[in-house]
């Protein structure tokens, strides 16, 4: 009987810890990421995510992984964002800026480990 009480107490403590960690993780999530591109305040996480997700799409289309995933916005990253905007088939404006439309589609078209509602969701602008 004493072991049952100890086991229940341990279970309650573990559940409380998990809820606390989940709440802290949600509190740290960015409610809306800013645009990424020339003239915007780029953050290295957001740029890295764009580079990674564009590489995913390029690789799936037989283009290899053309971008260095270094978190630095530059002409090569902009050029491949423009390529993605034209090659995606989503009717995106080919302006080289990752706004909510381009960002949202990148999150959906890239890998599910970083895309979707996972890591990059906090750093790439989107409508969802």
Predicted confidence (pLDDT) per residue in 27-41, tens digit: 233 447 899 999 998
Residues 18 and 79 reside in one and the same domain = no
pTM of the model: 0.75
Residue environment code for 4-32, b if the CB has 16+ CB neighbours within 10 A, otherwise e: eeeeeeeeeeeeeeeeeeeeeeeeeeeee
* Structural contact between residues 71 and 48, judged by C-beta atoms closer than 8 angstroms: yes
Residues 112 and 52 reside in one and the same domain = yes
Residue 87 has pLDDT above 60, yes or no: yes
Residues 70 and 17 reside in one and the same domain = no
Share of the chain above pLDDT 90, in %: 70
The answer as to whether 128 is a domain residue is: no
Look up the domain containing 115 and give its range: 44-122
Residues 26 and 70 reside in one and the same domain = no
Residues 25 and 49 reside in one and the same domain = no
Residues 18 and 77 reside in one and the same domain = no
Residues 54 and 83 reside in one and the same domain = yes
The residues, ordered by sequence, that sit 6+ positions from 24 with a Cβ below 8 Å of its Cβ are none
Average pLDDT (95-121) is 95
Residues 23 and 86 reside in one and the same domain = no
The number of distinct structural domains making up the chain is 2
Token code pair at residue 38: 């020339």
Residues 111 and 52 reside in one and the same domain = yes
**Strand (E) or helix (H) holding 39:** none
């Amino acid at each position: 009987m004493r072991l049952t009480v100890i086991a229940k107490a341990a279970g309650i403590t573990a559940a409380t810890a998990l809820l606390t960690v989940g709440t802290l993780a949600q509190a740290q999530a960015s409610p809306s990421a800013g645009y990424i591109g020339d003239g915007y305040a780029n953050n290295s996480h957001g740029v890295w995510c764009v580079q990674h997700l564009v590489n995913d799409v390029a690789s799936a289309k037989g283009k290899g992984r053309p971008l260095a995933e270094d978190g630095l916005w530059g002409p090569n990253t902009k050029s491949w964002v423009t390529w993605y905007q034209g090659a995606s088939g989503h009717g995106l404006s080919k302006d080289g800026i990752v706004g909510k439309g381009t960002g949202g589609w990148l999150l959906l078209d890239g890998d599910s480990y970083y895309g979707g509602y996972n890591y990059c969701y906090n750093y790439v602008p989107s409508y969802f």
